[in-house]
Amino acid sequence: MAEVDAGTLIDGRYRVVSRLGSGGMADVFLAEDEQLGRNVALKLLHRRFAEDPGFVERFRREAQAAAGLQHPNIVNVYDRGSYDGTYYIAMEYVPGRSLKQVIRQEAPIEPVRAIDLTIQILKAARFAHRHGVIHRDLKPHNVIVDDTGTAKVTDFGIARAGASDMTETGSIMGTAQYLSPEQAQGHAVSAASDLYSVGVVLYEMLTGQVPFDAEAAVTIALKHVSETPAAPRRFNPRIPPELEQVAMWALNKNPADRPHDADEFIAALEAAKGAIRAGSPGERTASMAALAGVGAVPVAGAGLAGGQGAKAPPANAGPPMPVYPVIPFDSGPATPPPEEPRRSRSPWPWIALLLALLLAGGGAAYLLTRPAQVTVPPVVGDQQGVATAILRNAAFVVSVTQQPSSQQSGIVIGEIPTGGTKADKGSTVQLTVSSGLGNVSVPPTVGDTPAQARQALTKQGLKVGRTVTEPSDNIAQGDVIDTDPTAGTSVPSGSVVTLLVSSGRQKVNVPDETGQPASVAKQALQQAGFKVTETQQQTSSTQPGNVVSQSPAGNTQAAPGSTVNLVVAQAPTTANVPSVKGQTAAAAASALQKAGFKVTQTNKNVTNKSQDGVVLSQNPAGGASANKGSAVAIVVGKFTPKPPTPTTPTTPTTPTTPTTPTTTTG
């Protein structure tokens, strides 16, 4: 679609004010609804997608799904239609920042505030779920936070309503960092998929980073399926344990191990908030014991796709008690044996016999009850989540300890018993997992060149990933605006950092003021945020005082505050044309040029030699008034001799008798 300029009227109703942003499918503009006199966010589908029935259907479905969801935490949809070969949605305009911007600027976010924002997102999700709508792309980019702290969910572009799924088997819909494991595998989604995404958003608010990240979206999706997220307190030790437990609960691989619905998730967060405000460890423990209503809050497990997530014991429970067999006995009164005469025999033979019988019985019991032995799978070098799943599938219990090493964080570097040896089925395998080289702090790089920022990050033991350009009013073009994670964040050594580089000030459309009076043009440009200079130009083709041309040209893009130069028409001055008739051509041209006129000359053949090189006529005539700079045409004589007149031949006559000449004398 062609660039939509400020002032464009969409569908005869929505007057575009400015651009708000651009996404993969559509551009979003701030517009004024001229019928109702209110601002709206106008979403226009990119023209390249307007010819794709699948994208058009997704766009239509977004409007249809969201239009029926009237809730304080959901952006309202007012209208939809078509314009200039594409389609639009008119939505509620919410002034504020996206939650992603809030995270970039403020993370890690204080726990109670993070809980409040998460609960608002969950209330929006709950309302949608009750109406049969699954969002499927919940992420901080799609949450707008206004100045009062109210969060509103938007962008139901890939939402599923009812039984419609709008995707082929195996395709992935959504943003990789916030995908649920079932979405990553192309499986059917449910309300639990949205709850997983909300868990990722909560994790990111608390730590400043997503649980899984990589250069390729496929790699991130595989991590969602097979890896265990690092505990949030590893990145931010100030996170209360009870809040960490709720976040990890939502990140279980198996949907059945997550909160059953948004209400249960909200209840757990409210209980965690109450425990945080109570402040004492005892009260916190008591609160956490009641989070799930019965027993414990499950914790994110590391099982492979379709596997069961691990579940934590109740927060106030100790280690599990061993179970012993119960030996039945007769509780009735004992019958005393008849008394026998005492003997002085030694009791030791009987004791020895009793011990032998006990040992024999114990040995027999051990042989009968001894667990079967199986081979311990070798998992050194595997990711922790993969190793844990393999061992559990082999019927072993897994215990994990972290240890710094040069290996990548999350890699198994030790295993007891050693892989390949035999061990009792159901026994514990102790894994030692690399925690990497430890945590480092992201250095400040705001205002640096990308080369300087890379040097500082590399020196700190961090890797530089993507470079993303964003407009900035404060940072010069080409310099670093920020990093993701932001400066000061504690991250594992070797982590990948994204550079955000300034593309300069956000460019806006330059109004076309050609032909307008200079005063009107100047006012319009200044209102659009530009500085204005004027240059005068004498011309007879444009009305004096009007704009002849401008630089930059109208309908091009320029940074606000830059200068637009207007060339303004100036009325030419007039003068009397000198009379040069009868003068030589050179003298006439000199006289006319001195008077401010241009000279054009044509020649005319003359037979009078006295007219050769002399001005025969001029236009305008001498004494007439004309604009300075205009042309005066002169006609100059060019002598051309007449050709000789031919003589008529005479008829010969009869010769006569010659006469005698006479002589005159004087």
Strand partners, 375: 422
Known active-site residue 194: no
- Is residue 464 a contact partner of residue 497, using CB atoms and an 8 Å limit? yes
Q: Count Cβ atoms within 10 A of the Cβ of residue 303 and give its class: 0-12 exposed, 13-18 middle, 19 or more buried.
A: buried
- What DSSP element (H or E) covers 122? helix 111-130
Give the other-Cβ count within 10 Å of 501's Cβ.
20
**Measured between alpha carbons, how far is 68 from 76 in angstroms, rounded to an integer?**
9
Helix (H, G, I), strand (E, B) or coil at 368: helix
Give the other-Cβ count within 10 Å of 3's Cβ.
11
Which of 578, 580, 568, 471 has the alpha carbon at shortest distance from 525? Answer: 568
Helix (H, G, I), strand (E, B) or coil at 262: helix
With tokens 């005492």, the residue in question is 342
**Measured between alpha carbons, how far is 546 from 146 in angstroms, rounded to an integer?**
45
Which of 608, 596, 601, 607 has the alpha carbon at shortest distance from 586? Answer: 601
Tokens matching residue 158: 């890939």
Which residue is catalytic, options 79, 137, 155, 484? Answer: 137
**Measured between alpha carbons, how far is 422 from 418 in angstroms, rounded to an integer?**
9
**Measured between alpha carbons, how far is 173 from 180 in angstroms, rounded to an integer?**
10
In the DSSP assignment, the letter for residue 283 is H
- Is residue 148 a contact partner of residue 96, using CB atoms and an 8 Å limit? no
Give the other-Cβ count within 10 Å of 358's Cβ.
10
- Return the exposure string of 171-197: e unless at least 16 CB atoms fall within 10 Å of the residue's CB, then b: eebbbbbbbbbbbbbebebebbbbbbb
Q: Count Cβ atoms within 10 A of the Cβ of residue 111 and give its class: 0-12 exposed, 13-18 middle, 19 or more buried.
A: buried
Is the peptide bond preceding residue 661 cis, with omega within 30 degrees of 0?
A: no
Q: Count Cβ atoms within 10 A of the Cβ of residue 376 and give its class: 0-12 exposed, 13-18 middle, 19 or more buried.
A: buried
**Measured between alpha carbons, how far is 43 from 160 in angstroms, rounded to an integer?**
20
Name 283's Cβ contacts closer than 8 Å, sequence gap at least 6. Answer: 275
Which residues are annotated as catalytic?
137
